[in-house]
Amino acid sequence: MAQVTLNNVRKVYPNGFEAVKPASFAINDGEFVVLVGPSGCGKSTMLRMIAGLEDISSGELNIGDRVVNDVDPADRDIAMVFQNYALYPHMTVAKNIGYGLKNRKIPADQIAAKVQEAATMLNLTEYLDRKPSQLSGGQRQRVAMGRAIVRDPSLFLFDEPLSNLDAKLRNQMRIEIKALQRRLGVTSVYVTHDQVEAMTMADRIIVMNGGVIEQIGTPSEVYHSPASTFVASFMGAPPMNLLNGHAAGGRVRVGDHDLHHHDQDRPLTVGIRPEDIVPDTTGPLQINVSLIEELGAHRLLHGTLQDQAITIHVGKDHPVTTGPIYAAVKPNAVSLFDVESGMRL
């Protein structure tokens, strides 16, 4: 088990592109951290630096109590699960799982026992003699997991391991991976661009954008108190409503609606989650609903609040119509951001 510490870790690719700007954070022993962000934001680069597959341009990386900047991936005591599984196509499932052990000169009978144990844990025992090409996507993913856990590493690294699975299987594997990680208690870094995976699996989420870490926090912190407008719009489906507002005389107003308190007089961006706006015939907001999205368990109303686009989340039992409705904002549900920097105020 291990703690991972990054100290101003930075990555500049040989072509001069700075994929990860200096980043510092610590991952606690046994913690499940999810790196999330849009495509190209540097998640994989970050993970691959931790794995040792990519050189660290500057800064210091610690795994456990070792500085591992110059340690070979094989000697970092890590295991990695890849997006496309990266199973050895010519080896059986058993050989795939045991290959890392074999290279570490572990006696054959011990390898067999460990492979058996991992296979049992992952429900793979009946497939041990098959080749990867004879397995389904989910089973291949399990083999990749088996290859990771069989070595008892002190750190698991996952790079979008579920993105090739269909939605149903993805939900199932998500729960399995999380349960397995809990059971084994191994520190894990998990990369995804799927914010549902991030929310459901993480102990802490690291949100990245353009090579910069925007926020580090628990799923609840990231969701309810986003550190920037980027995080606000990236996390949550549908994303947080971001409205142009203005603070004057201690009041925050969007158009002529009074929403919140703020001391300084300034323009600002007002963020409200769709589910924090509730239809209320006596409410202060007048919203012009133009489109209703039916999602079964609930509905999304898309419309405008004084020419600004806004989305409201309503329960399935609530009668809805297009046209003007009145709504109220739940108390303490408003986030305020600086207009220029997008940072939380």
Partner 1 sequence: MTVSKRFRWSAVLDHSILIMGALLMILPVVMLLQMASTTDVHTMKNGPGLVFGDQLPLNFQKAMFKADGFTGANTGVRMLYNSMILGFGFAIGKIVVGMMAAYAIVYFRLRFATLAFWVIFTTLLLPLEVRILPSYEIVQKLGMLNTYQGLIIPLIASATATFFFRQFFRAIPEELVEAARIDGAGPIKFFVDILVPLSRTMIAAMFIIMFIYGWNQYLWPTMITTDEGMYTLVRGIKQITQVNEGTNLPEYGRSNLLSIIAILPPVLIVIFFQRWFVKGLTESDK
Ligand X SMILES: Nc1ncnc2c1ncn2[C@@H]1O[C@H](COP(=O)(O)OP(=O)(O)OP(=O)(O)O)[C@@H](O)[C@H]1O
**Site residues (CB under 8 A) for partner 1?**
51, 53, 72-74, 78-80, 82-90, 99-100, 103-104, 131-133, 147
Task: Residue 13: name its binding partner from partner 1, Mg ion, ligand X, none (Cβ under 5 to 8 Å by kind).
Answer: ligand X
- Positive or negative, the CA dihedral 13, 15, 17, 22 is positive
> Residues 44, 192, 229, 311: which binds Mg ion (CB under 5 A)?
44
| Amino acid, single-letter form, for residue 318 | H
* Range in contact with ligand X (rule: CB under 6 A) among 15-23, 84-92, 194-202, 301-309: 15-23
For 170-229, the DSSP string reads HHHHHHHHHHHHHHHT-EEEEEES-HHHHHHH-SEEEEEETTEEEEEE-HHHHHHS-SBH
Task: Residue 226: name its binding partner from ligand X, partner 1, Mg ion, none (Cβ under 5 to 8 Å by kind).
Answer: none
Nearest residue (CB) to Mg ion, 42 versus 245 = 42
Token pair in block for residue 261: 């308190």
Token pair in block for residue 246: 């203005």
Minimum Å gap between C-beta 116 and Mg ion is 33
Minimum Å gap between C-beta 38 and ligand X is 7
Please check whether residue 85 is in contact with residue 144, taking contact to mean a CB–CB distance below 8 angstroms. Answer: yes
Task: Residue 321: name its binding partner from ligand X, Mg ion, partner 1, none (Cβ under 5 to 8 Å by kind).
Answer: none
Minimum Å gap between C-beta 331 and partner 1 is 49
Nearest residue (CB) to partner 1, 86 versus 333 = 86
Nearest residue (CB) to partner 1, 86 versus 112 = 86
Site for ligand X contains 40 (CB under 6 A): yes
* Range in contact with ligand X (rule: CB under 6 A) among 34-42, 120-128, 213-221, 266-274: 34-42
Token pair in block for residue 310: 């806004």
Calpha distance 190→77 (Å, rounded)? 16
Of the candidates 179, 236, 238, the residue with the CA atom closest to the CA atom of residue 207? 236
Q: Which H/E stretch holds residue 112?
A: helix 108-121
Please check whether residue 190 is in contact with residue 44, taking contact to mean a CB–CB distance below 8 angstroms. Answer: no
Nearest residue (CB) to Mg ion, 48 versus 344 = 48
> Residues 8, 13, 136, 175: which binds ligand X (CB under 6 A)?
13
Nearest residue (CB) to partner 1, 85 versus 190 = 85
Site for Mg ion contains 241 (CB under 5 A): no
Residue 179 CB contacts under 8 Å (≥ 6 apart), including other chains: none
Stretch 183-202: interaction string toward ligand X, x if CB under 6 A:
----------x---------
> Residues 9, 43, 79, 223: which binds ligand X (CB under 6 A)?
43
Calpha distance 26→185 (Å, rounded)? 17
Of the candidates 62, 85, 82, the residue with the CA atom closest to the CA atom of residue 158? 82
Residues that bind ligand X (CB under 6 A): 13, 15, 17, 19, 37, 39-45, 193
